[in-house]
Amino acid sequence: TLEATLALDGEHDASVDVLDVHGRRVAQMFRGLASGAHTLRLDTRAQGMEAGVYFIVARSGGEQVTRRVVVLD
């Protein structure tokens, strides 16, 4: 299971995607209007994600944050 926390000041359109090392979106953890703090969880096995390196990309209010994660078997 992959877990990420999204914390927003005020209400904003936001998205949180998981990309593979080639930049392809392999999962969408969140997309919509949000405010405050949210814990997002993704079942990597149910998404068919193999062990490897991925990137969580969060976008909101014209800003983007990217974090590298490693999925273990």
Q: Is the pTM of this model over 0.85?
A: yes
Do the Cβ atoms of 6 and 38 come closer than 8 Å?
A: yes
52-60 and 2-19 beta bridge pairing: antiparallel
CA angle 33, 26, 24 (to 5 degrees): 100
- Sequence-ordered strand ranges (E) for 1-73: 2-19, 25-42, 52-60, 63-71
Tens digits of per-residue pLDDT, 5-52? 989 888 999 999 999 999 999 999 999 999 999 999 999 999 999 999
52-60 and 63-71 beta bridge pairing: antiparallel
